[in-house]
Amino acid sequence: MATTISLKNVEKRYGALDVIRGIDLDIKPGAFTVFVGPSGCGKSTLLRMIAGLESISDGDLMIDGGRMNDVAAARRGIAMVFQSYALYPHMSVYKNLAFGLETAGYKRDEINRRVQDAASTLQITDYLNRKPKALSGGQRQRVAIGRSIVRDPKIFLFDEPLSNLDAELRVQMRVEITKLHERLGNTMIYVTHDQVEAMTMADQIVVLRGGQVMQSGSPLELYNEPDNRFVAGFLGSPK
Ligand code: ADP
Ligand code: MG
């Protein structure tokens, strides 16, 4: 069963600054959900709170019905893919994929099986012996995603993973990430400020502004029936 994530009146304050303001949200299990909104609206903060990389000031984060507020990041079953690939430059692709599993104490056979599976899913089998500097941007980003896949997480979180890539590659990687979701069927949340990415990739779009949810629904619902002018203007529908 795919994982359910639910936020109940979640808030984040940095001192006197209210960054996330009373968010109530159910993430569809097994769906590809996109958080979209202008720069500074709180997308990364919200994602980092779900991942456990940022504390929650108020409210509840529920995963599969259990309260996660005080559960350590490593125990939430979540993998996060960032915009900067942060691969280990001195290690081969194979080693980059295997490293986290080695430190977690997995056996060599199991590590090999998982690395080969991930490499095959991402079509990077031919590059396993290369160092990151001998890879293109798209190949590096696939390795970064591969490092998440080998951990077999329940949930994938992506924070603007394609914004460093050129336009052509970005379009190609969108398709690949969508395929990855179809293949794995995990609950995934993808953050972007790019409306086209949101409209083309999402099963569920959550439009954020000023730390609040403006609207949540399918791309078609938001396009055809925007709740307010902001959503209409942001997603480019005529209302
Ligand atoms: P987005 O990802 O949508 O661009 P962020 O979640 O990064 O937005 O930031 C939301 C707001 O929170 C911004 O105003 C940002 O300046 C502020 N913010 C983010 N992290 C911190 C922090 N560690 N301390 C203080 N303010 C922060
Ligand atoms: Mg951000």
| pLDDT tens per residue, range 149-205 | 998 899 999 999 888 788 888 898 899 899 999 999 999 999 999 999 999 999 999
Q: Dihedral sign, CA of 205, 73, 159, 176?
A: negative
Q: Dihedral sign, CA of 62, 65, 68, 73?
A: negative
Give residue 48 CA to ligand 2 midpoint distance, Å. Answer: 10
Cα angle 90-91-97, degrees, rounded to a multiple of 5: 150
Q: Kindly report the average pLDDT of the chain as a whole number.
A: 93
CA–CA separation, 219 vs 200, rounded Å? 8
Give residue 44 CA to ligand 2 midpoint distance, Å. Answer: 4
**Banded model confidence at residue 84, pLDDT cuts 50, 70, 90:** low
Mutate to test the pocket of ligand 1, among 11, 13, 19, 212 (most ligand atoms within 8 A of CB): 19
pLDDT at residue 6 greater than cutoff 70 = yes
pLDDT at 204: 98
pLDDT digits (tens, 9 = 90+) for 99-135: 999 999 999 999 999 999 999 988 899 999 999 999 9
Q: Which atom of ligand 1 is nearest to the CA of 54?
A: 23
Phi-psi region at 42: left, alpha or beta (left = phi > 0; alpha = psi -120 to 50): left
pLDDT at residue 238 greater than cutoff 60 = no
Q: Which of 54-63, 178-187, 201-210 has the lowest mean pLDDT?
A: 178-187
Residue bearing the CA closest to ligand 1, atom 10: 42
pLDDT at 131: 96
Q: Which listed ligand is nearest to 57 at the C-alpha?
A: 1
Q: Dihedral sign, CA of 3, 182, 192, 234?
A: negative
